């Protein structure tokens, strides 16, 4: 069994990125700084690709977190003991600030599946011992 989940992408995050990239790109075009424009556009495209390329999959007995070629984490579902709501802005494989903190073993990671209810239900069907606090 494999079930895939897309990452939620926050409209606020998109607006913030637009508020940064649009004016700076405009100013660089106006001033003729075309190398800066190219760098700015490359950075914006890279961020969009990263956000769109963030996926979570539950395959067999593992949770797989994948962000294009940057992140590839495999967590045994049996090791997950707690899932809780988080708004922690720390860098993580999540396209939104509305996140789930997945605690496994002595570690945790922040993710933002678009369909949280189905995601949690699928994990709990494999490991009913997971404590969920939302």
CB atoms within 10 A of CB 85: 12
What is the CATH number for 128?
Answer: 2.30.29
Q: 65: closest CA among 118, 110, 132, 128? A: 110
CB atoms under 10 Å from CB of 121, counted, come to 11
**Helix count and strand count (H, E) for the chain:** 3, 8
Per-residue model confidence (pLDDT) at position 13: 86
Number of domains the chain contains: 1
The range of the structural domain enclosing residue 111 comes to 1-134
pLDDT at 116: 97
The span from the CA of 36 to the CA of 22, in Å, is 13
Cβ proximity of 100 and 116 under 8 Å = yes
Residue-wise DSSP of 109-131: EEE-BSSHHHHHHHHHHH-TT-E
* Grouped pLDDT means (10 residues each) for the chain, 134 residues: 93 90 95 94 93 94 95 97 95 93 97 97 97 96
């Amino acid at each position: 069994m494999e079930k895939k989940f897309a990452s939620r992408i926050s409209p606020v995050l998109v607006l913030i990125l637009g508020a940064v990239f649009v004016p700076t790109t405009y100013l660089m075009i106006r001033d003729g700084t075309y190398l800066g424009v190219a760098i700015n556009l490359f950075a914006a495209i890279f961020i969009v690709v990263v956000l769109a390329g963030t996926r979570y999959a539950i395959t067999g007995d593992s949770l797989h977190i994948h962000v294009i070629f940057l992140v590839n984490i495999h967590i045994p579902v049996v090791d997950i003991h707690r899932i809780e709501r988080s708004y922690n802005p720390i860098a993580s494989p999540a396209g939104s600030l509305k996140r789930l903190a997945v605690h496994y073993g002595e570690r945790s990671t922040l993710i933002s599946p678009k369909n949280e209810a189905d995601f949690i239900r699928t994990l709990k069907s494999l490991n009913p011992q997971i404590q969920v606090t939302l």
